């Protein structure tokens, strides 16, 4: 195993499993005739069993959200009242962190320490959205003449379908749902069928926090028919989806029949460009983090680096050495940094990209194969670094979504920017240099929604997030994340009796 750092299986009390999940529709918990199960990709054990929605449950959830929006039980509350509920949600999340951490660790295969950080950190998204709920305002136009006054109101867009992925189920829901609620919208939520349990627990928290029935409805199931109906239904005003670009296109197509608004956070093939004057030790550590965080199953994964040819060999050696020290193994161990791959099929897809790159002329500097963890039967892929990559290779252009780093080289700033922009994605990018002019030139010219300079993957609720090109539409987090769920309405008023008659 090429002298890697491996964490063997640990003992843990899992007697409370499996978790049982049901739908939340109009404030009531409902079961279904059909069910589906999720097994741990690291341990093989049964983690959860959930009600499986069909058309009837989905229709009921959408109608509940429609009724709740139209009667104003949430949309007509004051910002202060909505903020109070969102703040209570944040507080209650804090009381159930460990319960949700264990479920997310087991369902996703991610390390338990990372799962804990995701769950606890998501509470801050709810607190920030609560603050935004009290600052909603429109515009006024008082310079239209002595007899005219106009206002632009910002109103909630209506019923929002929220469809979330399996890789960060609780965090990504936190980038959508509290902002939609802060705006006054009502929602139907479908988590991934792979990782639904923490969303169900959030439903319990919403009820306990005093959210009125029907304001948030949760349906558990698959893309067909649940997700498809949520995207196409005429009573839905907006769809917010995070997932692959392929599925994003289908969501947009399904929504087009009713011309509803669509917000999409999709894939990325995110470059980090390293110049010779950078702090190479810091850059190497950040690159290592960027590619192995969440086993590379992350839209923001720093999956390709573009290194100046003068330092490429030495820098790759630094990253390779660090990669050997990254702890791969049992997600239940607090020391584990990289856990299991989400499914055998996905592991095969990752390995296919690596093997195809070798056939195309690339070289393997490290890894390139599945690994075994002592005491576990799950799916693990070792840290992998691929050198000699050219821009035309699939591994340089497509989202591998695994712990695989592609290394390309450049000579000039212009060439680096051209390589960074050479592709269909535009989610994030990074630049490493001690020269501020280099960093600013790169940031202004690179086609990506987020540019990190001398860091990687730092994020805050206040700072908006989203992609360009085929990485998506719209923005999450920050004030822009709230604006996604608002519809501007102009009100034009004549003051007094100054209007002259049109008919003479």
Residues 258 and 276 grouped into a single domain: no
Within a domain: 234: yes
Q: Find out whether 398 and 423 touch, Cβ atoms under 8 Å.
A: no
**Cα separations (Å) of 203 from 20, 78, 252?**
13, 22, 27
Average pLDDT over residues 382-386: 98
- Cα–Cα distance between 34 and 18 in angstroms, integer? 17
Q: How far apart are the first and last CA of the chain?
A: 92
Within a domain: 499: no
46-51/35-39 β-pairing: antiparallel
- Cα–Cα distance between 74 and 38 in angstroms, integer? 34
Q: Tokens for 451?
A: 């540019």
Taking 60 as the threshold, does the pLDDT of residue 1 lie above it? Answer: no
Residues with catalytic function? 265, 299
Residue 383 DSSP class: -
DSSP string, 412-473: SHHHHHHHHH-SSEESEEEEE-S-HHHHHHHHHHS--SEEEESSSS---TTS-B--EETTEE
Within a domain: 466: no
Task: Choose among 431, 107, 63, 410: nearest CA to 219.
Answer: 63
Q: Which domain holds residue 421?
A: 271-453
Residues 134 and 21 grouped into a single domain: yes
Amino acid 437: pLDDT: 98
**Angle at which helices 436-445 and 413-421 cross, to 10°:** 30
Residues 335 and 203 grouped into a single domain: no
Looking at the chain, the whole-number percentage of residues with pLDDT higher than 90 is 98
Question: Phi and psi for 370 in degrees, rounded to 5?
Answer: -70, 150
Residues 212 and 126 grouped into a single domain: yes
**Angle at which helices 197-209 and 79-95 cross, to 10°:** 130
**Per-residue pLDDT tens for 288-323?**
999 999 999 999 999 999 999 999 999 999 999 999
**Per-residue pLDDT tens for 23-46?**
999 999 999 999 999 999 999 999
Residues 250 and 296 grouped into a single domain: no
Within a domain: 198: yes
**Per-residue pLDDT tens for 389-425?**
999 999 999 999 999 999 999 999 999 999 999 999 9
Residues 226 and 296 grouped into a single domain: no
Residues 87 and 148 grouped into a single domain: yes
Q: Find out whether 299 and 427 touch, Cβ atoms under 8 Å.
A: yes
Task: Choose among 248, 343, 242, 253: nearest CA to 300.
Answer: 242
Q: How many CB atoms lie within 10 A of CB 388?
A: 17
CA Rg, the chain, in Å? Answer: 24
Residues 209 and 306 grouped into a single domain: no
Residues 432 and 331 grouped into a single domain: yes
Taking 80 as the threshold, does the pLDDT of residue 462 lie above it? Answer: yes
Average pLDDT over residues 266-271: 97
Within a domain: 337: yes
Residues 127 and 276 grouped into a single domain: no
Amino acid 504: pLDDT: 85
Which secondary-structure segment (H or E) carries 242? Answer: strand 238-242
Amino acid 2: pLDDT: 65
Residues 17 and 58 grouped into a single domain: yes
Amino acid 102: pLDDT: 98
Looking at the chain, the whole-number percentage of residues with pLDDT higher than 70 is 100
Q: Find out whether 382 and 280 touch, Cβ atoms under 8 Å.
A: no
Residues 330 and 401 grouped into a single domain: yes
Average pLDDT over residues 459-481: 97
**Per-residue pLDDT tens for 213-225?**
999 999 999 999 9
450-453/428-432 β-pairing: parallel
Within a domain: 504: no
Average pLDDT over residues 70-98: 98
Within a domain: 501: no
Q: How many CB atoms lie within 10 A of CB 149?
A: 16
Average pLDDT over residues 334-339: 98
pLDDT band at 350 (very low <50, low <70, confident <90, very high): very high
Within a domain: 59: yes
Say whether 106 sits in a helix, a strand or coil.
Answer: helix
Chain centre to alpha carbon of residue 177:
12
The CATH number given to whatever domain includes residue 412 is 3.40.309.10
Those residues with Cβ within 8 angstroms of residue 375's Cβ, 6 or more apart along the chain or in another chain? 8, 9, 330
pTM of the model as a whole: 0.97
In the chain, the number of structural domains is 2
**Per-residue pLDDT tens for 144-170?**
999 999 999 999 999 999 999 999 999
Residue found under tokens 């608004």:
261
Which of 57-66, 226-235, 493-502 has the weakest average pLDDT? Answer: 493-502
Say whether 352 sits in a helix, a strand or coil.
Answer: helix
Amino acid 150: pLDDT: 98
């Amino acid at each position: 195993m090429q002298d890697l750092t491996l964490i063997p299986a640990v003992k843990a009390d899992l007697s409370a499993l499996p978790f049982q999940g049901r739908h939340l529709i109009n404030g009531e918990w409902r079961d279904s005739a059909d069910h589906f199960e999720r097994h741990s990709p690291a341990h093989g054990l049964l983690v959860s069993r959930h009600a499986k929605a069909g058309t009837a449950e989905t229709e009921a959830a959408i109608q509940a959200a429609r009724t709740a929006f139209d009667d104003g039980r949430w949309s007509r509350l004051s910002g202060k009242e909505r903020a109070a509920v969102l703040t209570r949600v944040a507080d209650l999340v804090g009381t159930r962190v460990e319960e949700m951490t264990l479920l997310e660790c087991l369902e996703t295969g991610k390390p338990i320490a990372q799962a804990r950080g995701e769950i606890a950190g998501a509470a801050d998204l709810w607190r920030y959205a609560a603050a935004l709920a009290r600052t909603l305002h429109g515009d006024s136009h008082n310079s239209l003449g002595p007899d005219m006054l106009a206002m632009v109101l910002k109103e909630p867009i209506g019923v929002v379908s929220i469809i979330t992925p399996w890789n960060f189920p609780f965090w990504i829901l936190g980038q959508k749902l509290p902002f939609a609620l802060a705006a006054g919208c009502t929602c139907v939520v479908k988590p991934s069928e792979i990782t639904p349990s923490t969303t169900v627990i959030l439903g319990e928290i919403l009820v306990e926090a005093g959210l009125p029935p029907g304001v948030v409805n949760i349906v558990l199931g698959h893309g067909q028919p649940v997700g498809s109906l949520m995207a196409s239904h005429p009573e839905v005003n907006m769809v917010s989806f995070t997932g692959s670009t392929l599925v994003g296109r289908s969501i947009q197509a399904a929504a087009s029949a009713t011309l509803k608004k669509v917000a999409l956070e999709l894939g990325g093939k995110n470059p980090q460009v390293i110049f010779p004057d950078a702090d190479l030790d810091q850059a190497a550590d950040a690159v290592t983090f960027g590619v192995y965080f969440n086993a590379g199953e992350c839209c923001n994964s720093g999956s390709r680096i573009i290194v100046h040819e003068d330092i490429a060999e030495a820098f790759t050696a630094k990253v390779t050495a660090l990669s050997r020290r990254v702890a791969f193994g049992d997600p239940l161990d607090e020391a584990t940094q990289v856990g299991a791959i989400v499914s055998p099929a996905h592991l095969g897809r990752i390995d296919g990209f690596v093997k195809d790159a070798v056939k195309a002329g690339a070289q393997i500097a490290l890894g390139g194969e599945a690994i075994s963890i002592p005491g576990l039967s799950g799916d693990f892929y070792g840290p992998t670094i691929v050198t000699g990559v050219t821009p035309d290779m699939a591994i340089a252009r497509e989202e591998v979504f695994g712990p695989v780093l592609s290394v390309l080289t450049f000579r000039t700033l212009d060439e680096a920017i051209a390589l960074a922009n050479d592709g269909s994605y535009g989610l994030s990018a990074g630049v490493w240099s001690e020269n501020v002019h280099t960093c600013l030139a790169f940031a202004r010219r690179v086609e990506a929604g987020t540019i990190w300079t001398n860091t990687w993957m730092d994020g805050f609720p206040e700072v908006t997030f989203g992609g360009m090109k085929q990485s998506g539409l719209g923005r999450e987090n920050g004030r822009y994340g709230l604006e996604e769920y608002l519809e501007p309405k102009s009100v034009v008023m004549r003051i007094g009796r100054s209007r002259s008659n049109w008919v003479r």
